[in-house]
Structure 1
Amino acid sequence: MKSNLFILVFGFLILGCSSDDSNNTTSDGNYFPIVLDNTWNYSVENTSESNPELNFSATDVVTINSVTDNMFTMEVNNGTTPANGTMNTFFSSGTFTKLNSTLVYNGDLEILSETDALPIPDINLYNFTLYDTNANSNTQLYSDTNSFTEDVDFNGQILPITTTYQITNTHLNNLSSLTVNETTYTNIIQTEIKVNLEVSTEIDLGFPISQSILDAQDILVINNYYAEDIGLIKSDANQSFQLNAAFISLITTFGGTLDFPTNSSVDNIQELESYSIN
């Protein structure tokens, strides 16, 4: 999961070919059919101007591999290779519960996988609402904030690293239609997942000073589009970060080095190509 969540986290924004007709109309439709062996095939494009070696094109096959009452799990690429799509990585790493109007996820989300030198743990998501068919536009479906501190050996000096994150999911719009891979789907739910992160430390220079490592910023933004009777048809993810310039300068001044990039931006777009719904 580590490689794909930078290919999920340190990509999903603009949707091409979407209808401009958005409204607050709610729906009781089925936006994720849960039958064993239901399958979705996605094309995946991963691009990064800051790190071209992350550029690739791939395909993912997502399959429901277990169903118990209204709970289910999914498998990507038959479990033989990691998921290439950001949201497909998400799908393969947790359990789902489908209620009358909501789809709820329980599992872990790994962030900042490119910065192993920093103690950034997975975010544990509990009762994370992926969508609610009865939600109006701009309704927040989920929010969680947490903070923790861990001592880290940073270039021979033990530093207390404090991390604060907020993760949200918002119902943005209901779209009348959306065209993906030359197929037009109707009755669309659009949601947006955001992860905001802030990292700081305290450095002893004969006296303690507080120093930002990563100023508060959205390091992950995912726009998801679900079609009635189909499921997820498109997911656009952007994963990016920029280290604090003063922190970089401070490390350089004292002869230290960073074992990870100082900035990065990656876009990951997955689009439905075909599906088999039972």
Structure 2
Amino acid sequence: MFKKISLAFIAIIALTACSTDTDDGGNGGGNNFSYLPLTTNNSWDYDVVTGTTVTNDNLTVSSVSGSNYTLTANPAVPNGLMTGVLSSGELTAANGQLIGNGTLGFDFQGVGDFSIDIVDGVLYDQNASNGSELYSTSGTFTETIDSYDLDINYVATTVQKANVATMTVPSGTYSNVLHSQLIINVSISTEISIGPITQTINLLQPQNQDVIVVDNYWAQDVGLIKSDNQLDYSLADFSALGVNLPVPQSASVLTTQELTAFTIN
């Protein structure tokens, strides 16, 4: 199991976007709208699907104080990654952005769990253009698995994407949908000894190893309508050198969170 780590990375979800599209497919500028309505007792129900497994999450606005608010989740340990992010701490809405503190937690299939503390960061900016990097943070830590000390480096980034013209989910069809992305890139290295020689090997190269890519979609005056969480990794094979970690060599898992019903007061 990976050690729970603190990370200055921001991750919360959505609130405000612009109503006009630009020629380059960006999000326009000027007008701010609510993409996560903040009134107390507003609630959202989701189906969370991984393979053939379907579970349910509920998000409810539990408190509002000025531009700050908190949400609670049911179950308390939610199934959806973004349900967990949104309900893990206080959020602040400012200038078309969602800013907040909380926790980003996800399962690194068979390898362990990440738990990243979110401290004052931006997940989306409704006035940013398509492709704009909103936030990036990096760090490193060491975890021991089966006598191997694994040095794990990560880079977490949020990116604004172009609006989506229309999107249909179980709760309905929505237009001019705000689209943002959360990307977590990971590399893993360890030292091995072969006779008198010790050398560092790279088990997971950072190039093209975006272990987690989360695409989030928000509808005006409704909230988060869909979140696609794709996990992918492939470890290098060093079994010929006697390196056999007790974890899967590779994994590819898609989890989809879709809005089924909502109450906006």
- Which interval holds the TM-score relative to the shorter structure? 0.7 to 0.9
Note closer, same or farther for the CA distance 1:176–1:196 as it changes in structure 2 (3 Å cut): same
Q: CA deviation at 1:132?
A: 1.0
The aligned counterpart of 1:93 is: 88
**Could you state the TM-score of these two structures normalised by the residue count of structure 2?**
0.81
The aligned counterpart of 2:115 is: 122
The correspondence for 1:165, drawn from 145, 148, 154, is 154
Note closer, same or farther for the CA distance 1:122–1:138 as it changes in structure 2 (3 Å cut): same
2-structure distance, mates of 1:29, 1:170: 19
Find out whether 1:215 has 2:215 as its counterpart. no
The correspondence for 1:64, drawn from 61, 66, 86, is 61
The aligned counterpart of 2:229 is: 237
Aligned-CA RMSD value: 2.3
Partners of 1:22 and 1:174 within 8 A in 2: no
Find out whether 1:76 has 2:73 as its counterpart. yes
Letter in 2 for 1:62: L
* Further displaced range: 140-149 or 220-229: 140-149
What does 1:96-245 align with in structure 2 at a 5 Å threshold? 96-111=91-106, 112=108, 114-116=110-112, 122-149=115-142, 152=144, 154-155=145-146, 157=147, 159-181=148-170, 183-205=172-194, 206-216=196-206, 217-245=209-237
The aligned counterpart of 2:35 is: 31
Structure 2 stretches of 5 or more lacking a match?
3-22
2-structure distance, mates of 1:232, 1:59: 15
The aligned counterpart of 1:43 is: 47
Find out whether 1:260 has 2:255 as its counterpart. no
**Could you state the TM-score of these two structures normalised by the residue count of structure 1?**
0.77
Partners of 1:22 and 1:175 within 8 A in 2: no
- Using CA pairs below 8 Å that are at least 6 residues apart, which structure has the higher relative contact order? 1
Note closer, same or farther for the CA distance 1:66–1:114 as it changes in structure 2 (3 Å cut): farther
Q: Which has the higher helix share?
A: 1
Q: CA deviation at 1:177?
A: 2.7
Structure 1 stretches of 5 or more lacking a match?
3-20, 48-54
* Further displaced range: 30-39 or 174-183: 174-183
CA-to-partner distance for each residue in 1:152-209, whole Å, 9 max, x for gaps?
A: 3x54x4x442111111111111233322226221231101111000010122321221
Q: CA deviation at 1:60?
A: 1.4
Letter in 1 for 2:72: E
2-structure distance, mates of 1:242, 1:186: 37
Letter in 1 for 2:210: D
Partners of 2:151 and 2:190 within 8 A in 1: yes
2-structure distance, mates of 1:76, 1:101: 24
Find out whether 1:272 has 2:264 as its counterpart. no
2-structure distance, mates of 1:94, 1:218: 26
Partners of 1:235 and 1:271 within 8 A in 2: yes
Note closer, same or farther for the CA distance 1:209–1:42 as it changes in structure 2 (3 Å cut): same
1-structure distance, mates of 2:35, 2:237: 44
Partners of 1:22 and 1:176 within 8 A in 2: no
